Structure 1
Amino acid sequence: MMEVSEQRDVETGDQISSTNENPPVPPTRKSRKKGGWRAVKYIIAMETFEKMATVSLGANIAVYLRKKYNMDGIMLINVVNIWNASTNIFTLPGAILSDAYLGRFCTVLIGSLAAMLGMLLMTLGAAIPKLRPPSCNDLDTECIQAKAWQLAILFAALLLLALGSGGIRPCNIAFGTDQFDTTTEKGRLQLSRFYNWWYFSFTVSLVIALTGLVYIQTNISWTIGFAIPSGCFVLALIIYVLGCKTYVYVQPKGSIFIDIFRVVVAAFRKRRVELASSNDFVLYDPRIDESSGKVTRLHRSDQLKLFDKAAVIVDSSEVNDEGVVVNNWRLCSVQQVEQLKSLIGVLPVALTCVLCIVVLEQQNIFAVLQAMQMDRKVGKSFVIPPGWTGLTSMVTLSVWILVYENIVLTIWRMISKKNDVRLSMKTRIKIGIIISICAMATSATTEFKRREAALKAKTYESPLSVLFLMPQLALSGLTEAFAAVAMMEFLTTRMPEQMRCLGSAIYFLCTSMSSYISTAIANVLHTATKRADGTAWLGGRDLNKNRLDCYYAIIACIAIFNFFYFTFIGSKFVQVDRKSNVEELELSNTNT
């Protein structure tokens, strides 16, 4: 029987299909290569158009809800934060469906269709006045609120967008990593570059969305501003399908969570089993099928040994004559045990990720609200849209990636005479956390000056220029460039290949948790600081009556706590392997 094997092109790292009966031949026009940068370009292009659509809405959603649905105060904060959180929390079931049943390609395809329907529904809501309440002025104290059925249509559209993102976000980047051969040093270096360039293309799409689309939504027409993103989803789907013949497909291997639960149950059942130091016990470690896709064979590690009990064969009757487990809830393989260890190993770093993103979340809402009450005029007639505030952070992120990839690394290679001179994940995360502290301190200072200037002038809009927001936004962009990129890389590459969708989902789950934490903090502070006249640190339609600067100061304290947590705890789970010059996951502090 003819066996098919996968080989890699030496120059590009692309996969070339060949058989064992004939030696591999040089690729021709007829023998099309799969994977590598040739396939990734379709994935990145699809991601670019998809992000142009979703980000233009995300950046301007606070303005849209305030102007078209008359939402303000805590109601506005809760809706935006909960939608952001739901958008990210749906990545977990998306990852499960992808890894267990659908595969990454199909999950992204279905998610894109759902998001497109949600965007079309948002377009209808903007185009048909009866689907929303009458608009009112910012200075009006009493506005007609949306009816229940109007909110139902709005929330249905937001739900479809959240479900779509749940299928796209955890699988698209993992699908991109499938296109590279990480068993070679060249493939690993290409993968590391892929994360930066993926983030760069992602940022370019954000810049386009925050300039062109947000401007159209704010100054020309919300209907046109939402119709264009709907068209972007259509283009994204077309591009994605066009590349289907170039992709490397990894077949779903079953639900990783069921395996995890089985390991926990089996280990609990065998909790009284003693693991002798002489290793005189038998572990169930069958061969795995690596022919149908990328599957990393995991060997037994010395960490978290209590879970090894799940793989100990106590009685020969636990395995039949064919070597198959009789009861999967009593005996698990070493492979299943090590997958659980891999998941537990990233959790301490994931907490750092959550706290770091809490800082980034603040600019998504409050920087926009600040801009709405600042001098946004540039020149005689041009007025900067509030949704453009996020542009500064995105440009900063893009510029840094370009400088780092093309200038900084080139100079370091010339000086050190080494090929791989990239900053380690630990270093990048720590730098990002320090910058996040500076970002919140700067935000508090700027808001204090903005509010003081408005109160002194006795005006709704502060005479302070909106350009004063640029430092805090630039620092937020650098926080993302250092910490967020490194954490995304850590959570995906430190997982076995068959669990990379789960790694991506954990990153977005961290983003979701940060949104919920931000919502909880805002609601607690609103209740705790509410005065007799109804004003509080947060809430209402006028920031001049709030103390947003004090809120920023509290977030800065959380960032300081995050720095000490990562320095003394989180960083212990990321160790540099000097022999291979590659960072490896360490669980030394969790031995039992």
Structure 2
Amino acid sequence: MAAGSVHGAAGLSFAEQEAAGGGGGRAAKGMRRPRGWTAVAFIIGFFAAASMASSSFGTPLASYLISRYNMKGNAATNVSNVYSGLLSFAPVVGAFVADSFWGRFRTMLFGSVFGVIGMVVITLSATIRQLKPPSCSAAARQAGTCAGPSALHRAVLYVGMGLLVVSAGGTNPTALPFGADQFDETNERHKAGLTRYFNWYYAVAMMATFLALTVIVYVQDKVSWGLGFAIPTVLTLVTFAVFLAGTAVYVYVPPEGSIFSSVARVVVASCRKWRLRLPHPDDARRQEEVLYSYSPPVPAAGNDGPRRVFRLPLTLQLSFLNKAAFVTDADEVRPDGSPARPWNLCSVQQVEEVKCLVKIIPMWVSGVVWFVVLTEMSNYTYIQALTMDLHMGSRFTIPPVSILAVFNLSVALFAPVFDLLISGAARYLTKAGGGGGGVTLLQRQGAGLVVGSLALVVAAAVERRRRDSALGHGDGVSPLSAFLLAPQLAVMGASGALSMIGQMEFYNTQFPDQMRTLANAAFYCAQGASSYLATLAVDVVNARTRRRGGSAGWVSDDINAGRIDYFYYTMAVLGAVNFVYFLVCSHFYRYKGEQAPESAGPELPSDTDSARTSGTEAALLKT
């Protein structure tokens, strides 16, 4: 892990390095200039195809196991839940491997190969007769006389699923930050492109998922499961070849070593010095001057491209951790400037990186709650669709799960609208008024929380109408069109374009740069944690609303016997409480590299300013 500040030529931007290196504007030997969108074009297509493949298998998995593997409903649901949980938490392992050992490209390449092989195995298992149980009629399935899957059938299926889990661990946490590595953040044009990249990256992924939940699911339901899996498999193979074709233009950021050991060292060192009093407790600049700042020797750039180091100024938030950088008589420094006992003395850079992680945790918790709300709406919107008219016209019937694609379409459409219109207008208005640069990351997430609560209110109103209609018919099925559920999903999609994409950009920009892959893993972990908390929320609500005599609570197995509309209102209240919590956390949050105005200290002379990194903007140094 890089620590301390880096001075001299190490602090030059790519343009300055080219000028210093001569050669008529050519980059210095061993350097590879970030190509921005040129490089991203090779990456984003593969991620879209991978998203389509993952959704085309994972979303209808329970239905696939019941209809083609003749599993019981509970067994199929359990397998689907375990698979979903592993997909959510596998990126943590992949992030650790990428940031500590292999780097983002190698980890992504490893996961991509496993993903292609996994989809081929799944496609073969759905196509070859010997690899799946014999077909079973609806009557036999109802009677429970269908032949279940053999050991061979299960083995092939689980091997394919295991390969996809490994693939998710390698690609999910690395694809987005690897694309971000292709932008030079010291270049204003690239910096603006990076912000736009987060919006369009997720918009493309949502559009791919939309196609998976509509076109691919329809093929699976009406034609064959084998063809439904073969289509995304072929697309993944083609886009993987395109991804490999871009290796000559990519920037490769090498791994920095174990990220967790540095965190542990800061915590241990600050605890060992808990009795010490820090100098200048109200002046961050003066305090930083007397603390330990160490710049390790930076290796020359090789084929892996430039090494990136964010130099973070000292802040007074969580000042207890600053004690880890306080030099005592017992601390020894080697001739090269490195600490003799790294568990006793850490640099300011290491301390500030740990602070970045600690400060993000409260914001991450708010993100988890938002995903809980999204999970509840998705689960019960699907159940609502099962009891409604699924016809589109007189002859065409959509699969119930396809109604959820409205959410993905809404995200895919609203994300570029926000990027091109809302965010652009906000930047223009704030600059015209002498303010900042438009909508901040926290403002974007906060707006998403508000819109999410409104979506639940809409969902509650629709559910009340659906339930009244269903109870008025003897079969319990409402004649209302399932497309009546589209507005609540569209509003929630707008919330996702604000909050979900805002979370991803927030993590990727506020985590220490060498932990950017871990930042992406945190996003997926939030989704995984929300799945379990959503189940807990249902149990708690049912326990509080279940009537005496054993009657069902609000969330009943029979949706018409329960009160899902009341449950939606409860989730809306939870979203409102989460918004208040988010406002409190946002008030105390300082962006990475930003000092509180009152702690900045007196203005330094101009010659000193030129040698320091700005207190309000962390300098990106590439060497």
The answer to whether structure 1 residue 100 and structure 2 residue 104 are counterparts is no
Paired with 1:566 and 1:505, the residues of 2 have a C-alpha distance of 21
1:547 to partner: Cα distance: 4.2
Q: How does 1:63-74 map to 2 (within 5 A)?
A: 63-69=63-69
Paired with 1:89 and 1:350, the residues of 2 have a C-alpha distance of 15
Paired with 1:282 and 1:133, the residues of 2 have a C-alpha distance of 75
| Partner of residue 196 from structure 2, selected from 186, 193, 196 | 193
Quickly say closer, same or farther: Cα 1:193–1:442, change in 2 above 3 A. same
Name the aligned partner's letter for residue 400 of structure 2: P
Instruction: Please say if residues 13 and 186 of structure 2, whose CA atoms lie closer than 8 Å, have aligned partners that are also in contact.
Output: no
Q: How does 1:436-475 map to 2 (within 5 A)?
A: 436-459=452-475, 461-475=477-491
Paired with 2:569 and 2:71, the residues of 1 have a C-alpha distance of 26
Paired with 2:550 and 2:141, the residues of 1 have a C-alpha distance of 18
Q: How does 1:124-163 map to 2 (within 5 A)?
A: 124-128=124-128, 131-132=132-133, 135=136, 137=138, 143=144, 149=151, 154-163=157-166
Paired with 2:140 and 2:133, the residues of 1 have a C-alpha distance of 20
Paired with 1:283 and 1:250, the residues of 2 have a C-alpha distance of 29
**Structure 1 residues 373-382 or 137-146, which shifts more?**
137-146
The answer to whether structure 1 residue 57 and structure 2 residue 57 are counterparts is yes
Paired with 2:17 and 2:112, the residues of 1 have a C-alpha distance of 30
Instruction: Please say if residues 69 and 149 of structure 2, whose CA atoms lie closer than 8 Å, have aligned partners that are also in contact.
Output: no
The answer to whether structure 1 residue 231 and structure 2 residue 228 are counterparts is no
The answer to whether structure 1 residue 319 and structure 2 residue 327 are counterparts is no
Q: How does 1:72-111 map to 2 (within 5 A)?
A: 79-111=79-111
Quickly say closer, same or farther: Cα 1:170–1:147, change in 2 above 3 A. same
1:36 to partner: Cα distance: 1.3
Aligned length: 572
3-state DSSP of counterpart to 1:318: coil
Q: Could you say which residue in structure 1 is the equivalent of 2:312?
A: 298
Paired with 1:530 and 1:235, the residues of 2 have a C-alpha distance of 56
Quickly say closer, same or farther: Cα 1:6–1:51, change in 2 above 3 A. farther
Paired with 2:10 and 2:444, the residues of 1 have a C-alpha distance of 41
Instruction: Please say if residues 69 and 132 of structure 2, whose CA atoms lie closer than 8 Å, have aligned partners that are also in contact.
Output: no
Q: How does 1:503-518 map to 2 (within 5 A)?
A: 503-518=519-534
Q: Could you say which residue in structure 1 is the equivalent of 2:295?
A: 287
The answer to whether structure 1 residue 208 and structure 2 residue 202 are counterparts is no
**Per-residue CA distance 1:327-346 (angstroms, 9 max, x = gap):** 32222222221111110111
**Per-residue CA distance 1:137-196 (angstroms, 9 max, x = gap):** 499766469568455654543333222112212111111111111124333222111111
Name the aligned partner's letter for residue 476 of structure 1: M
Quickly say closer, same or farther: Cα 1:479–1:413, change in 2 above 3 A. closer
Paired with 1:479 and 1:408, the residues of 2 have a C-alpha distance of 14
Q: Could you say which residue in structure 1 is the equivalent of 2:608?
A: none
Q: Could you say which residue in structure 2 is the equivalent of 1:334?
A: 348
Instruction: Report the TM-score when normalising by structure 2.
Output: 0.81
Quickly say closer, same or farther: Cα 1:191–1:407, change in 2 above 3 A. same
**Structure 1 residues 407-416 or 438-447, which shifts more?**
407-416
Instruction: Please say if residues 74 and 539 of structure 1, whose CA atoms lie closer than 8 Å, have aligned partners that are also in contact.
Output: no
Quickly say closer, same or farther: Cα 1:308–1:574, change in 2 above 3 A. closer
Paired with 2:537 and 2:188, the residues of 1 have a C-alpha distance of 45
Paired with 1:191 and 1:417, the residues of 2 have a C-alpha distance of 20
3-state DSSP of counterpart to 2:309: coil
3-state DSSP of counterpart to 1:295: strand
**Per-residue CA distance 1:537-561 (angstroms, 9 max, x = gap):** 5575x54455443433332232122
Paired with 2:266 and 2:595, the residues of 1 have a C-alpha distance of 29
Paired with 2:75 and 2:554, the residues of 1 have a C-alpha distance of 15
Paired with 2:458 and 2:542, the residues of 1 have a C-alpha distance of 22
Instruction: Please say if residues 4 and 19 of structure 1, whose CA atoms lie closer than 8 Å, have aligned partners that are also in contact.
Output: no
Instruction: Report the TM-score when normalising by structure 1.
Output: 0.85
Quickly say closer, same or farther: Cα 1:323–1:207, change in 2 above 3 A. same
Paired with 1:305 and 1:245, the residues of 2 have a C-alpha distance of 45
Over the aligned positions, Cα root-mean-square deviation in angstroms equals: 3.6
1:454 to partner: Cα distance: 2.4
**Per-residue CA distance 1:82-105 (angstroms, 9 max, x = gap):** 433321222111111111100000
**Structure 1 residues 157-166 or 209-218, which shifts more?**
157-166
Instruction: Please say if residues 299 and 335 of structure 1, whose CA atoms lie closer than 8 Å, have aligned partners that are also in contact.
Output: yes
Paired with 1:235 and 1:152, the residues of 2 have a C-alpha distance of 28
Unaligned ranges ≥5, structure 2: 1-8, 282-286, 302-306, 598-613, 619-623
Paired with 2:384 and 2:34, the residues of 1 have a C-alpha distance of 49
**Structure 1 residues 518-527 or 528-537, which shifts more?**
528-537
**Structure 1 residues 367-376 or 163-172, which shifts more?**
367-376
| Partner of residue 401 from structure 1, selected from 406, 415, 435 | 415
Q: Could you say which residue in structure 2 is the equivalent of 1:12?
A: none
Q: How does 1:176-575 map to 2 (within 5 A)?
A: 176-277=179-280, 279=287, 283-289=291-297, 292=301, 293-315=307-329, 318-408=332-422, 422-459=438-475, 461-524=477-540, 529=546, 538=555, 540=557, 543-573=559-589
Paired with 1:155 and 1:531, the residues of 2 have a C-alpha distance of 43
Instruction: Please say if residues 125 and 132 of structure 1, whose CA atoms lie closer than 8 Å, have aligned partners that are also in contact.
Output: no
3-state DSSP of counterpart to 2:274: coil
Instruction: Please say if residues 403 and 483 of structure 2, whose CA atoms lie closer than 8 Å, have aligned partners that are also in contact.
Output: no
Quickly say closer, same or farther: Cα 1:577–1:307, change in 2 above 3 A. closer
Quickly say closer, same or farther: Cα 1:113–1:411, change in 2 above 3 A. same
Instruction: Please say if residues 456 and 569 of structure 2, whose CA atoms lie closer than 8 Å, have aligned partners that are also in contact.
Output: yes
Name the aligned partner's letter for residue 284 of structure 1: Y
Paired with 1:180 and 1:471, the residues of 2 have a C-alpha distance of 37
